[in-house]
Chains A and B, each alone.
Chain A
Amino acid sequence: MTSEAWQIVLFTIEVSALSTLLILPFGIAIAWLIARRDWPGKPVIETIVMLPLFVPPVATGFVLLMLFGHNGPLGSILQRGAGIDVVFTWRAVVLAGAVMSFPLLVRTAQNAFQEVNTRFEDIARTLGAGEWRVFRTISLPLALPGVVVGTVLAFARAIGEFGATVVVAGMIPRRTMTISLAIYQKIQLGHDSEALPLLFVSVGIVFITVLCGQLISRRKGAR
């Protein structure tokens, strides 16, 4: 592989890891809120969270472009307030990966929290634990295998992200070029032989990641 290809691989792993880390606290919090609490508007929020799974990724990218573009409501605030550009930078790649993998994390973590016997949480409360301690010492540790599986799936999804990324981040060499974008570009240019190593590397990364998720899931089942 060329040094350019290695740079693309490392960049993709970095932005995917960053997007996964970014959504982790929010994903866990929303998953827990959906699994354990009833609140007004819950079905609406659940639907919004799931939307990126079903809306065409380029449409999601377009929404992000409108929101985070220089004239968009969020983009203009970030630009004027903190001098941060999002679109067509590495931040847009992280953002697209985060949005597209968020539903996988939430859905998997939500199932994990729902599988925790509520009696454990109830008894922890009678033993003097407040809600934060119950979450930290009972709910989260017991749901952890499922949360880890969700995290792994979210990372794998971010690695393969294409549609939203191409719209909101473009295909700028050494700035926003991920494995998926590079494979697409090389095929378009007829450089199939340059696309092949990237193809094998991306399949390898996702295979190992999803395999880890499967092994954790099996361990959880065996407990």
Chain B
Amino acid sequence: MSLRLQGVRLSLASFTLEVDATFDRPIVGVFGPSGAGKTSLLDLIAGLRRPTAGMVELGGTVLSDASASLHLPPRLRRIGYVPQDLALFPHLSVRANLVYGYQASIPENGLFTLEHVSEVMEIAPFFGRNVTTLSGGEQQRVAFARAILSVPRLLLLDEPMSSLDSRLKQRLIPFLLRIRDEFRIPLIYVTHDAGELASLCDEIVLLEKGRVIDRGSPKDVLPESQ
């Protein structure tokens, strides 16, 4: 599934996000300092913000085209999004969170069932609990599972492990790899952590002040981590 951003522009507080890039590897990492525009880029892809110029296209479907005033709303994009704070709905149980976006009508396969996804993410024992009672790592897996169950064509992860210690991060990485390998959902993974990128990503895009300043394999872009 190829994501194409063609001449995309979005005005932010201190600079303009300007991206012209194609993302077509299974896991693309977006790396850059705080305030580089990484979250804004994900918001734009998810349809939560409208670009002021340019076009966003996913798998041949135009999602946004500023010149044609076209903007597909987020609910129709089938793009999963796990934000930094996870945004698990605090008034709902784990199960209610999981089924919130469950797309029973999409006949793609039987892979995206509540039972299977819960088994893969090892969250079935928590179904009846409120999400606020879960540990950090458990919340993370519930957030991943909720996004997967909406059968997304692309999954955006915004520093999903930033609040976890390195031991928990290492435990969660295999879950992310299973999303890629078992569910075959391409991922765009935003992080500050070069180590996470090196162990997860096929390609890295380096963002600074809203512009792509470098891209390539982790080995090329992050030589110090190898």
Instruction: Tell me, yes or no, whether B75 is within 8 Å of chain A by CB.
Output: yes
Q: Check if A126 sits within 8 Å of B85, measured CB to CB.
A: no
B residues contacting the other copy or chain, number (CB 8 A): 24
In the complex, what residue of chain A is closest to B46 when comparing beta carbons? A126
A-B contact pairs, 27 of them (CB 8 A): A117-B87, A119-B87, A120-B87, A122-B43, A122-B46, A122-B74, A122-B87, A123-B81, A123-B87, A124-B100, A125-B74, A125-B75, A126-B46, A126-B47, A126-B48, A126-B74, A126-B80, A126-B81, A127-B75, A127-B101, A127-B147, A127-B150, A128-B75, A128-B78, A128-B103, A129-B75, A141-B91
Which positions 15-31 of chain B face chain A at CB distance < 8 Å? Answer: none
Assuming A117-B85, A119-B85, A130-B75, what are 5 further A-B pairs, CB within 8 angstroms? A120-B87, A123-B81, A125-B73, A126-B77, A127-B80
The majority secondary structure among interface residues of chain B is: loop
Q: Which residues of B contact A (CB under 8 A)?
A: 43, 46-48, 73-75, 77-81, 83, 85, 87, 89-91, 100-101, 103, 146-147, 150
Residues of B within 8 A of A117 (CB): 85, 87
In the complex, what residue of chain B is closest to A144 when comparing beta carbons? B91
Q: Which residues of A contact B (CB under 8 A)?
A: 117, 119-120, 122-130, 137-138, 141-142
Residues of A within 8 A of B89 (CB): 120, 124, 138
Q: Check if A127 sits within 8 Å of B87, measured CB to CB.
A: no
Q: Check if A127 sits within 8 Å of B146, measured CB to CB.
A: yes
Residues of A within 8 A of B73 (CB): 125
* Smallest beta-carbon distance B94→chain A, Å: 15
A65 CA / B57 CA spacing, docked (Å): 59
